[in-house]
Structure 1
Amino acid sequence: MTAVSVSAGWTGTDERWSALPPNGNIVFGSDENVADLVIPDEHAAGVVGRVIAADGHWTIQNATAQTPMLVENVAGNDFVSVPAGMEMPVPFTSARVLVFGSTGILAFSVQAAGHPPRVPARPTADGGTSPLNHGAKYFGVLVALCEPALRYGPMSTLPTSAEIAQRLRRLPAYRSITSAAVDFHLNYLCTRKLRGFVDAYSSIVGAPAPVVAHSRRNALVQLALRFNLVRRQHLRMLEGGARQPIAPPQAPRRLARRPAPRPQG
């Protein structure tokens, strides 16, 4: 049986730990009557999820209908995204669980011994949806911003506002979109719609506060991809009138050297 301990409070509030018994679990949520770890957010679900000590590994359950959740490996850069209504095994012995609140992200820590086997994720009773409005124009702009990272990897260069506008104008709903409008939608996401989440995520993972626009956009893409707010399936909405995706960055071409002219005479 894997030994599992969960921090008794949210990051920065309590360093005490609670050990799970074999096959035991810890419930986290806003309902003090059922939650072992209470979320200080009255708008959160009564039961948000559970940490479960399984046979030889540990799992985490996202019991909400639409709230995304993330488990990050403290010892590395890898992570597990836990969609709403799913239970998943976690392959990390030292992990940080990040949970969406109503105005920001909360985190607590889990320590486990041993290495878990590969176990498929199991759906729970609830289905899952994104907290973002997929019909809003800001979501289409966000998908276009995340497109290079989804297609070519997280190290891809972010597209400019002009490139995003050019990409979206091929779609009927975005015929008249301009670079200024793209800036407006991204600024709305970074400073209004998801401001608390972007800032809290940057603070929790130790990144510098996203002050300038480029830093905010980088944090926004990381947040959207890690919490499954934008997934590869959302790229279909860009295919209505656009045959070519935003291209990955190209290495500069080397100019061929011309042979030196032969001396005459």
Structure 2
Amino acid sequence: MYSIIVVPPPTTEDERNRTQIRLAPGERLTFGRSARENDLRIAHDGVSRRAGEITAQGAFWILSNLSREQTYVVENPEGAGEHIKVGPGRLDAPVPFEFSRIVLPAAGDLLPVEVWAPRHDYRDGESERDGDTTAAAFSLDSSKRYFAVLAALCEPRLRGAPHAPLPTVDQVVDRLRPNWPAASRTSVQWNIDYLAVKLRLKPGPDEADSGPRLNGKKESLVSLALRFDLVREDDLVVLTEPSGRVAR
């Protein structure tokens, strides 16, 4: 079964007809300007004759930069500017993104080669051994008020604006009030403070050392939540549905 899909740069204005090249684990695809030396020809004078090589590795892929001078950038289109650089001559650089875009600098142009890694492998749950269960790293209940507050804080960045400023407390109140009529600055701020303790960004009030004051509390919460997928785009449904009865 194939594990990697490569979509070459567009050659005409109609991108719908772009060829997709599918690679099974272990298969390689070389690309460059020379049709004789490569599996994929990129007909541009600014591309090296033998520019690079993509190798499928199960659920991920590796990139070799065969250029002598050009650095390639591999972008994560879904990752808020996340990218890696693969320098000239670098071999077998692992790429961790499910959706990727190799950007080839070519004499003033930037040519995109898209690479998709749709295969997801998971461990079989039946292989679990007997014994104590592992404690959850982050214990969140999507039916609670605090989760709706966290979702409202994360919403702008989950909606495709990765560098958007975080909503103010008043904006969070306005966002939540249709389904939580009693929402107020005090209750929202209480939930933000509660989340900071629950997600271990700050010690609880009953601990001997309460630690220093946490500055940038909202930013820290959103950064942690998005980094570990504690809130996903699908979870934003809690903002349009009545939240739980427990006022957390």
Q: Same fold (TM over 0.5)?
A: no
User: TM-score, length-normalised on structure 2?
Assistant: 0.43
Structure exhibiting the larger radius of gyration computed from Cα positions? 2
Q: TM-score, normalised by structure 1?
A: 0.40
